[in-house]
Structure 1
Amino acid sequence: MRQVEYRTRQHLLEEALPGQEGAILLSEEVDADPAQLLAHAYSLGLEGIVGKREDTI
């Protein structure tokens, strides 16, 4: 599955366990400046952020 594009993989994961809502949780897509996201995470007392380009494999 790791050779499948991220968007496709996300949909496959959502469908992997029918009737098991909540078994796999995926983060929402955020379209924002990474520096601003990091600053906001710090202001909330978080250690950082993890990001992934949606067009990657």
Structure 2
Amino acid sequence: MAESYSGDAYCVKCKEKREFTGEVKVSESGRRMAQGICPVCGTKLNRILGKA
């Protein structure tokens, strides 16, 4: 079951912070990261989260 995330992240293409919803993924090193899509331009957004 994937954990979901709702918040904001910086869009590199729009050069603004955007609200998005996405899922939380854990990297090999144990970092948690939320990944989603920018609602304006469709670019992939990433936000590094704190440890659980």
TM-score, with structure 1 as normaliser: 0.24
Structure with more helix by fraction: 1
Larger radius of gyration: 1
TM-score, with structure 2 as normaliser: 0.26
Structure with more strand by fraction: 2
